[in-house]
Structure 1
Amino acid sequence: MKKSIGVLLLVLIAIGCENSDKLTFEPLQIVGEDCATCPKIDIDVPKAIDDTAIANTINRSTEEEIIAYLSFDEEEDIENLNDAIASFTSSFKELATRFPEDTIGWEAKVDGEVVYEDENVLTLAMDTYIFTGGAHGYGATTFLNFDKTKGIELENWELFEDLEDFQQLAEAKFRAQESIPQEGNINATGFMFEDDEFHLAKNIGYTEDGIRFVYNQYEVASYADGPILLTLPFKEINKYLKNKVKS
């Protein structure tokens, strides 16, 4: 019996050590007002609850991103999430009052999750859908990358040792995936890269499968084409990364 307890303790200690570099999150779930003249607002994102600099950075960056989604009036000074929700709601109510017969319900949905974490890097992916009238709404994926050791959010260029060399590799992989000839115009098959030159996606993030690029709708293709995804395995690109992934 004592031997069994000892083995169990060793297993629990091993699991604790294995997960010691992971941050702790709880769900942050917010819904808007429920009324006939209210937009539908549904927010479900992770909130870091550790008392650390990186946890504060993650929560601040997440909130700022959501505020940007909900800020319908660019001139309005919005400082927190509650103000952003109130602004989005009041903008819809004002429109519904002015055009009661023509106004279609607005919608804002934000779903977030941690898609990658090791001892150095954490990536949070946010899937959003915003509808404020028109033929259709707009959905997008946003990656937020964080350096856990420095307690900061990372820009895309800060992910790589040599961005120029990496971009050349990414273009070759993109052309191969999308059946675009390696030589010739990047838009030869119907893409819409600005100035006919390949560029990395605005949203790049670590995932368990590798570094993922998400070209959201309208970024390099039409709305009907949907988002364009490219995932490069770590074993192929690890040498280009500043924060390398252990195999």
Structure 2
Amino acid sequence: MMLAKSMLLAASLLLMTGCKLELPLLSGSSISGPLTLETVTFERAGGPQCPDVAGTTPENIRCASLRLIYPKIVAAGTPAAAAAMNQYIQAQLLEYSDAEGKPPATADELASMFVADYNDVPEAVGLWEMVREVEVSFASEHLATLAIRESGYIGGAHPFSGQRYAVFDVNTGQQLTLKDLLVAGYEEGLNKAGEQAFRRERGLGANTSLEEAGFWFANGMFKVNTNVGVSGNGLVFNFNPYEVAPYALGPTEFTVGYDAINALIPDGSLLAALAR
């Protein structure tokens, strides 16, 4: 039975696209410094009735598709930094496991697992889809921000989507946190500045109750999360759907400008060159 299933899966998988595109890092854009990269696209679909099969219609389609779009870091401040960033990117793209908890080692294995999960659901109809995209959203002489996005549909009432950020020292490859970038005891000041930026983004007055506006903060007190990226203008925070609000309110992304937290940035921080 397992052999027959494996043969069916192998026969149903179709490699659609695999390409690399050299992207120049243009001065004046949000990307500068030592990073150079290639963009890689991987697409694969499989299932009993995929779009390439004769007679497939929106009514009878039964297929699962995977799409990965990501940068291959060709060079950074050091070869070790490039290797560390590439390793992190691959780990995010391949975050998945089979029924025994085994993670995929390659994009091909990830596609096989995703299609197998679709085929294992007897009532699965229509199109399952998973799209994972990693983008260098900002880079400078010292810092780079990766934006990791995931979206798709695997049944249920809603599609899924989310975005998270990761910040790296482009000269060492170390992943950095707020503790690495700001002064000790930054939390109170950052939460205050963050709440002001959050309220502006959501169109909420200073005295509007967050709870009555539909947001779920512990004890009704605003607090930034750790989903943060570095940009040329400030720290970018993102709350994904369901994180602090119902699905209907969607995600919230807001920027805390460097001028609002200048006192929280020590002179020795890698942020100092951007903020001052």
Q: TM-score, normalised by structure 1?
A: 0.79
Q: CA 1:75/1:130 → structure 2, altered by over 3 Å: closer, same or farther?
A: farther
Partner of 2:58: none
Residue 74 of structure 1: how far off its partner (Å): 7.0
2:164/2:227 contact within 8 Å kept: yes
Q: Is the 8 A contact 1:140 1:217 kept in 2?
A: yes
Task: Find the counterpart in structure 2 of residue 130 from structure 1.
Answer: 152
Structure 1 segments (4+ residues) deviating >6 Å? none
CA shift, 1:107, in A, is 0.4
- The 5 Å alignment of 1:161-180 reads 161-162=183-184, 163-164=186-187, 165-180=189-204
Amino acid across the alignment from 1:160: L
Report SS of the residue matched to 2:70. strand
Query: How far apart in 2 are the matches of 1:38 and 1:176?
Result: 42
* Aligned position for 2:127: 105
Partner of 1:8: none
Give the 3 Å change call, closer, same or farther, for CA 172–79 of structure 1 in structure 2: same
Between 233-242 and 109-118, report the one with greater CA deviation. 233-242
Give the CA deviation at 1:194.
3.3
User: Residue 110 of structure 2 is aligned with which of 84, 87, 91?
Assistant: 84
The answer (yes or no) to whether the contact 2:215–2:244 under 8 Å persists in 1 is yes
- Kindly indicate whether the alpha-carbon contact (under 8 Å) linking 1:167 and 1:200 is maintained by their aligned counterparts in 2: yes
Tell me, in whole angstroms, the C-alpha distance in 2 between the residues paired with 1:20 and 1:72: 36
CA RMSD of aligned residues (A): 2.6
Counterpart residue number, 2:173 = 151
**Residue matched to 2:264:** 240
1:94 is matched with 120
Deviations 1:30-69 (A, max 9, x none): 111355254111111111022711111111111111222x
Question: Is contact 1:146-1:152 (8 Å) kept?
Answer: yes
- Closer, same or farther: CA 189–246 of 1 in aligned 2, 3 Å: closer
1:51-98 Cα offsets, whole Å, 9 max, x none, are: 711111111111111222xx2647522152333232112111222xx3
Secondary structure of the 1:32 match is strand
Partner of 2:253: 229
Gaps of 5+ in 2: 1-26, 51-61
1:61 to 88, 91, 102: 88
Shift in CA distance, 189/144, structure 1 to aligned 2, threshold 3 Å? same
In the other structure, the counterpart of 1:117 is 139
Say which of 208, 215, 239 aligns to 1:215: 239
Counterparts of 1:225 and 1:240, CA distance in 2: 31
SS of the residue aligned with 1:57?
A: helix
SS at the partner of 1:39? strand
The answer as to whether partners of 1:191 and 1:221 remain within 8 angstroms in 2 is yes
Name the structure where strand makes up a greater proportion of residues.
Answer: 2
Q: TM-score, normalised by structure 2?
A: 0.71
SS in 2 for 1:128: strand
Shift of 1:203: 1.5
Amino-acid identity (%): 24
